[in-house]
Amino acid sequence: MLVTFTTDVYADITMFGDVALAMLKMMGHSATVPGAILAEDVPAALSRLKAAIDVEKASSSVEDKDADEPVVSLAHRALPLIELLAAAAKAESNVMWK
């Protein structure tokens, strides 16, 4: 499953479903797709996501050096969504996902 985040003031962001649902929970929302955040709630959701990512960074485990593929941290995966939320907060725009 893919989840696409949209707002009127930033390019659409598409993520794998499991990562997107985890980030939605970090923002304090249910893992319901489709969904939306009203413009006045976007700054709080952005703040919660950043705080959760900071906690994730602090508690991240050591990478498996024998793994065939590199591990992409949740912090790196969250960057596009953080930028979308920041743009939406600045422009006071709603954020939707489907």
> Per-residue pLDDT tens for 3-54?
999 999 999 999 999 999 999 999 999 888 999 999 999 999 999 999 999 9
Q: 60: pLDDT confidence band, cut at 50, 70 and 90?
A: low
Asked whether residue 62 carries a pLDDT value surpassing 70, the answer given is no
The pLDDT, as a whole number, for residue 67 is: 65
Q: What's the pLDDT score for residue 61?
A: 58
Which is it for strands 95-97 and 10-16: parallel, antiparallel or unpaired? unpaired
Q: Helix or strand or coil: residue 7?
A: strand
pLDDT value at residue 72: 80
- Which tokens sit at 5? 């985040």
pLDDT in the model for residue 63 = 56
pLDDT at 51: 95
- What pLDDT was estimated at residue 68? 75
- What are the domain boundaries of the chain? 2-57+71-97
